[in-house]
Structure 1
């Protein structure tokens, strides 16, 4: 094994240890999702590929509140009868789907109820990483995190995190609670997260990079990027693998969590952790 690859194979989330490339389950649970059985196979293939971080949310479902928790039930079904030791399960609370909209509910009482419901759906005694899906402007961030800290003290969650936050919100979160992770969008060429990544490095917390290919509307850009294509050709992989490897090389705090509805893709994405980018690869990222 080339020196340096060993360090990138696993990354820390508080006291937990997970693969450097995880799996994001939104794509198999929200609009445009595949059939249930295909989604189950995608989760299984992610674990088989060595992805030991599986990220979902109670609001990953279609627009009806009757479907709330679909993504969590799907993950539980995918992990059932599979040796789960070492797999870190992350989920989120504080947001619901109603009438086609995403509605924020960061009230402490809702987060307590949501966490207990997530535990039942995930078939777990304690959630490995429980995250506030997005700060609710109607509720002080400190109150939401206070409820999550209580859940941690009760042993219902192991580590806690925040998602879709600004730098100021992350600083407030770190002052209010033992935050182990932040989950924000990050893809190659994006610089708006630089200060947050720097703070994560300083504080020793993980940065879970969702939408690492830029999101559904921008993913095609990765495949057509000439720089990525050249690097991919040199390594015998796809431009998407290079994009993930560039994120890993950017910071030891970053854990990309790509999503897919294709059971064959997790094995392809996981190999990014085994790539070592040279000078040409580092040039894909300003300042890398």
Structure 2
């Protein structure tokens, strides 16, 4: 297997009828998953295995899959359905109630017992959510088994929190040459971030064989009137002194400040092409800031990145003023 394309077309956050029932693992399956929890403890977090066992968020299976796809070259994570991974959407009640009514009973409920010879995914006949014990659906406990917890994890995937770091990546990602990680355009309401945390761009940049990277929907700012700000320079201190091998980088609809682009540029050193693009909805940079950003990347990729190969919001580097 050399190529994987992930599709997010099955469920829509605003349409409960597109949701599916909770997946039921057999006892044998659960025992096997518990075995891998120990076997792969150095690669995948225990919380991710909890999410797998819950049978709700199938994206939690990706880190496990990427432990074995050692021939993988091209990875397209698709356009993530942002509403399905936006913790605030669930906490506000709408998503939580939709899931509660659609999924059926939780693993501790009487109607969810595991039978040795049962068929995976078999319908239990559960129809009335009001008969489900409330403690099964204690909101915070439930959500921590569906998506990574924490304010800065808004919109993050289990893939993001398990990818690894330089010298310790998931085995199936070490040979990836081209990678796309994108999110649907979605403004998370009243949240700490207006997209998935841009800090997760860094571990992608340092995948050992990656040459082309495209990301979309990342952020360091958010909240009402952008009141929250998480400077990218802080988490990127972990990578200080390292230089990415990536040659082509595209950053689309990222909600970041100029200093964040500077911090990101310091991680690069072999770029041959740079594209930064914002749709009208996210146009927050001035032409003067375009020039500053282009200069940041030129400074760190002097021998490989020419002005002709820089494009920010359809303006080529050669047309920017004061770019060195």
Structure with greater proportional helix content: 1
* Structure number with higher strand proportion: 1
User: Normalising to structure 2: TM-score of the pair?
Assistant: 0.29
